[in-house]
Amino acid sequence: MAARADRQMSFRSLPTVPRNVKAYFFLAPAILVFSVLVLYPIAHSIWISFFDMTGADLFSASNKAEWVGLANYLELLGDPRFHVSVQNTLLWFLLFMLALPAGLGIALLVNQTAPGIWFYRSLFFFPFVISQVVVGLIFTWFYDPRFGLVGKLWEWLGATPPAILGDPDLVNFGLIVAGLWPQTAFCALIYLTGLCNLSQDQIEAARLDNAKGWKLLRYIILPQLRSATFIAFLVTAIGALRSYDLIVIMTDGGPYGSSRVLSYFMYEQALSEYGTRQGYGAAIAVVLFLLTMTVLSIFVWRTLKSEAEE
């Protein structure tokens, strides 16, 4: 008995590893991957934005890149193409927010128990599962003034069909509508998931108090969908600020550069067939990164503040 007690005391006397150390141990692989694939590229982009650098300089042993300090950023301030890109990026962000109320409306519409509702849900969610290439090709045909659906509609109305993708005043709105189609389906899916997790007790209690329609939606349903709105806003905002694929597919930045956004302008300057200015492109990427972080930080701060006040 004495020997057994001694063994138990010796086990108890062994140093224990603190819980937070164990947590960091298990998080280490994820932190390493995140650092290599996310943090290092961000830091490297910030660093090369202070150089006059080409693509060849990145892999050259002689490293002929020239330190220019803030010259790339000062050049951006005087570049009219940058001004157009910023304006178009902000336009994408503002109009892309229409995906949230549209997605909520669709989710409320299909959140029913009517026969065959699964078919209508599939129709509304279909745009989310197809690639952006397909979306771009569909809307390119849709906007064609000769044989597209928009052109036929204008002819039926007795008007001359507009060349939406060829008009500098209309092209951005046409691109944003094309981007809203799958984004609205995504938001509807997020909201439908939230609607399936609503507290039925609160809804029934509100109905007993004669709350219905707009009052039921505003005071009972929407507060419970706050987490769904949070996710939908973050994903939609990021999608708007990094919009690139539809522009490449549908307009390639045209006409006359009027559909450029920051992400496309960055690609055009640093990575395209004629773009070799890696330092200038990195400066554009840093501006886009700061813009994205500013928008998301303000939204997260306001969300946390509103939750703390309740």
Residue 59 counted as domain residue: no
Domain that holds residue 89: 79-276
The mean pLDDT value for 37-57 works out to 86
User: Mean pLDDT, to the nearest integer, of 222-242?
Assistant: 91
For residue 33, tell me if it sits in a domain: no
Looking at the chain, which runs of residues are DSSP E strands?
Answer: 51-52, 66-67
58: in domain: no
pLDDT tens figures, 71-102: 999 999 999 999 999 999 999 999 999 999 99
Q: 281: closest CA among 260, 255, 258, 263?
A: 263
Q: Is the pLDDT of residue 265 over 60?
A: yes
Mean confidence (pLDDT) of the chain: 86
Residue type, 185: A
- Asked if pLDDT for residue 296 goes beyond 70, the answer is yes
Which contacts of 72-81 are long-range, i.e. CB under 8 A and separated by 24 or more positions? Answer: 72/279, 72/280, 72/282, 72/283, 73/49, 73/283, 73/287, 75/280, 76/280, 76/283, 76/284, 76/287, 81/257, 81/260, 81/265
Question: How confident is the model over 231-239, as a mean pLDDT?
Answer: 93
* Whether pTM exceeds 0.75: yes
* pLDDT per residue as tens digits for the range 134-143: 999 999 999 9
pLDDT over 60 (residue 220)? yes
Give me the pLDDT at residue 11, please.
46
The per-residue pLDDT for range 146-196, each reduced to its tens digit, is 888 888 888 888 888 889 999 999 999 999 999 999 999 999 999 999 988
What confidence score (pLDDT) does residue 283 get? 95
The count of structural domains within the chain is 1
The verdict on residue 153 lying in a domain is: yes
Q: What is the mean pLDDT of residues 8-17?
A: 51
Question: Is 156 a member of any domain?
Answer: yes
Name 51's bridge partners.
67
* H or E stretch at 269: helix 262-270
In a domain, 14, yes or no: no
- Is 61's pLDDT higher than 60? no
The pLDDT, as a whole number, for residue 7 is 52
pLDDT of the residue at 18: 65
Q: Domain with 109 in it: what CATH number?
A: 1.10.3720.10
Confidence (pLDDT) at 213? 79
Residue 118 lies in a domain: yes
In this model, does residue 209 exceed pLDDT 50? yes
**pLDDT at position 14:** 46
Structure confidence at residue 102 (pLDDT) = 95
Closest CA to 242 of 174, 296, 199: 296
Say which residue the tokens 């507290």 belong to: 199
The amino acid occupying position 66 is: E
**Residue 190: inside a domain:** yes
